[in-house]
């Protein structure tokens, strides 16, 4: 689904996890709005999300800061 590819690219282009999350949520809302209540469109969206979830997760993870280092032992 081209819309999810575009969404993944937008998420990957952001530099912070907050920006990525906002783009991701807005994109998913737009996709749900476009599907409306049509069961066929909702099923297609669900299938597409399931197929693309690893790409979306990787795009968000790429913008997630690394955990801070553990403090030194006393």
Round to whole Å and give the CA distance between 33 and 13.
24
Instruction: List, for the chain, all residue ranges whose pLDDT scores fall below the cut of 70.
Output: 1-4, 14-17, 20, 63, 65, 67
Quick one: which of 71, 73, 4 has its CA closest to 57?
4
pTM: 0.52
**Every domain of the chain and the residues it spans:** 2-62
Residues constituting the chain: 74
- CA dist 20 and 38 (Å) reads 28
Alpha helices in the chain (DSSP H): 2-13, 17-35, 39-62
pLDDT at 40 (0 to 100)? 92
């Amino acid at each position: 689904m081209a819309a999810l590819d575009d969404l993944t690219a937008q998420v990957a282009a952001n530099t912070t996890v907050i920006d990525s999350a906002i783009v991701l949520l807005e994109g998913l809302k737009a996709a749900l709005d476009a599907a409306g209540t049509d069961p066929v469109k909702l099923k297609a969206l669900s299938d597409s999300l399931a197929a693309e979830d690893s790409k979306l997760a990787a795009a968000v993870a790429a913008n997630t800061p690394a955990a801070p280092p553990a403090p030194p032992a006393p």
